[in-house]
Amino acid sequence: METTRHRYSDTELKAFKTLIENKIIAAKEEMVHLSTTLSQSDPDGGFHTLEDGAATLEKETNHQMAGRQKKFIEQLEAALGRIANKTYGICRTSGKLIQKERLMAVPHTTQSMEAKMSQH
């Protein structure tokens, strides 16, 4: 009979930390790419055409993506904080351990699937 664990082991937390740090690096690289794309201006400075409308839409989409990426990085960094204080992987709703598979897929989550589904 398996005993209920109250937290992940230090070894498991270290593995999650590595996973999260790698995701942060990738997310920051994506932010640099988005920032570079956003900072490129229209070289002509000419009249607005239908193409300019598409470029504006693309720029707005990139702004939204950059905003989501920034929030994602913040959530990952908060997860690192939870690892440091050894509360990572504990559902904030139920207090139970979040399944390892869920944490591998969504490492910044703070809720188990059961808790998440019961909100709807």
Instruction: With a cut of 50, say whether residue 103 has pLDDT above it.
Output: yes
Per-residue pLDDT tens digits for 54-83: 777 888 888 899 999 999 999 999 999 999
Could you give the CA distance from residue 80 to residue 116 in angstroms, rounded to a whole number?
A: 21
List the chain domain ranges: 10-39+50-118
Instruction: Tell me which DSSP letter residue 44 carries.
Output: S
Q: What's the pTM value of the predicted model, to 2 decimals? A: 0.80
Could you give the CA distance from residue 49 to residue 17 in angstroms, rounded to a whole number?
A: 48
Instruction: With a cut of 60, say whether residue 98 has pLDDT above it.
Output: yes
Q: Is the distance from CB of 93 to CB of 113 less than 8 angstroms? A: no
For domain 10-39+50-118, the CATH superfamily is DksA, coiled-coil domain (1.20.120.910)
pLDDT for 34: 87
Q: For the stretch 1-15, what's the b/e string if a residue is b when 16 or more beta carbons lie within 10 angstroms of its beta carbon?
A: eeeeeeebeeebbee
